[in-house]
Chain A
């Protein structure tokens, strides 16, 4: 019986965020924690969907999703994601500045793995990334068998 090699370095991160600085902050945090994961970037929900559907994001992947983006925001993206049979299984962490209860509830209604506030800017941010890293190291992520 072949036990699938779980190499946590292979988890791809798809960052969906229109803000360049927030994206750089994420990259720097990963580097600090010496994590070598490949990061893909989309600037809004539509671009993220296009990239996911074209197969250019290698599995397994985790999506880090901002909510406030032009053209298609995070909640709209989640709506479409969950209704697409090929994408509905995706693991999504919401990384946002929005403290709004409505956004929180709406996101969890779309079955996100967690809702995290970006405001935790300094040390806490590293812990946030650390949490996500622990998550993918310990948790089995779905990979389509083709």
Chain B
């Protein structure tokens, strides 16, 4: 008789040792859900000492909103005692002593003991896994967006870039013909056209690359004085003599991603100068507090204006309002501005009657967040 009892004691001790040594948190409850045994890991992840847990209902380890369902789940487990994962298809949460919650995975095992059937649950804190999954989903979205952009690029490249190539081909034929016919008078003009097309192609490619990189080469956060920044950018454009920049008095000094903001301003200034129809012009930079989190900046010129029917079109890649043979431009400037601004959660819009003057407005976050990016540097070939 005493052998039998000491066997039981030995088995019992071994069992407790195994549970204690388990890498997961282990909690054993009886049929009514009262905690009979916990291990150190359980104490750690829930933040209780075992004396606080033993004899307590298991529901104290659940967030309050799940407690009313739990007795029902326990009953159904006991009606069909199979080892299984708890709550398949549901998100499970545990509740720590301090009231904070964390996502968990729970495995349930029925144990037959002399005192009746107990349930041993193995509990794993899956916070890290959940975080990693969220990151994975974000990356996936970014990848999709990147692929879509690549497809657009390929389509655009096959169209808009072929056009100057065709022109160059034709001109080369004319020069050949004219030389053959000794009709060389038009050759210098044709050569200029040829070079013009070559330049155009180069600019298109540069702008296309800039567009694809827009919103990615962030540089870092730095404190900028917007007025000084704008003045520098304007001067770097080497504007023609009659053009000047008017800065509002209340332009902010704030910490932001300077590189993309510079790109936006640079493109807007370039556009305003390039599309101006007079020898003299004024470009204004103003700032408004749009809402709690955003500034609204506007770059306003006194050029020819853009009629309202074109207000959406001008933001599309490669769309120009004037023929390229009149005003050289890739048509990418505003598309680039839109892309950068939207990357940081802002919005770009135009105000223009079409008679005189254009104002491009864009919102910019007061406290900007850098974005997660898939690596954007090309393979070294």
Contact = CB atoms under 8 A, between A and B. Distances in A.
B325 A18 contact: yes
A66 to B, nearest CB: 10
Interface stretch (A48-56, A106-114, A117-125): A117-125
Interface string A81-108: 0000000000000000110000000000
A19 B174 contact: no
Nearest to B158: A99
A71 interface: yes
Nearest to B171: A21
B320 A70 contact: yes
B325 A20 contact: yes
A21 B167 contact: yes
Nearest to A98: B159
B184 interface: no
Nearest to B310: A71
B310 to A, nearest CB: 7
A43 B166 contact: no
Contact of A122 (B173, B193, B323): B173
Give the size category of B's interface with A.
Answer: 20 to 34
Contacts of B323: 18-19, 43-44, 69-70
Contacts of B326: 43
B58 to A, nearest CB: 64
B193 A20 contact: yes
Interface string A27-44: 010000000000000011
A131 interface: no
A143 B197 CA distance: 40
A121 B159 CA distance: 16
B174 A70 contact: no
Given A97-B162, A121-B169, A122-B173, A19 B325 contact: yes
B325 A121 contact: no
A71 B325 contact: no
Interface in B183-212: 193, 197
Interface in B144-191: 159, 162-163, 166-167, 169-171, 173-174
Q: For the side of the interface on A, what is the size category?
A: 20 to 34
B22 interface: no
B322 interface: yes
B290 interface: no
A97 B174 contact: no
A29 to B, nearest CB: 10
Nearest to A43: B323
A98 to B, nearest CB: 8
A69 B331 CA distance: 12
Contacts of B193: 20-21
B14 interface: no
A143 to B, nearest CB: 31
A85 to B, nearest CB: 23
B166 A118 contact: yes
B170 A121 contact: yes
A119 B319 CA distance: 22
B170 A97 contact: no
Contacts of A71: 310, 321-322
A80 interface: no
B190 to A, nearest CB: 8
A21 B170 contact: yes
A97 B321 contact: no
Given A21-B171, A21-B193, A21-B197, A97 B324 contact: no
B166 A119 contact: yes
B322 A19 contact: no
12 contacts: A21-B167, A22-B167, A25-B170, A25-B174, A28-B174, A69-B323, A70-B322, A98-B159, A121-B166, A121-B169, A121-B173, A122-B173
Interface of B: 159, 162-163, 166-167, 169-171, 173-174, 193, 197, 310, 319-326
User: Sorted from nearest, which 5 A-B pairs have the closest CB atoms?
Assistant: A18-B323, A21-B167, A20-B325, A70-B320, A43-B323
Given A18-B325, A97-B166, A121-B170, 6 more contacts: A19-B324, A24-B170, A70-B324, A71-B322, A97-B159, A121-B166
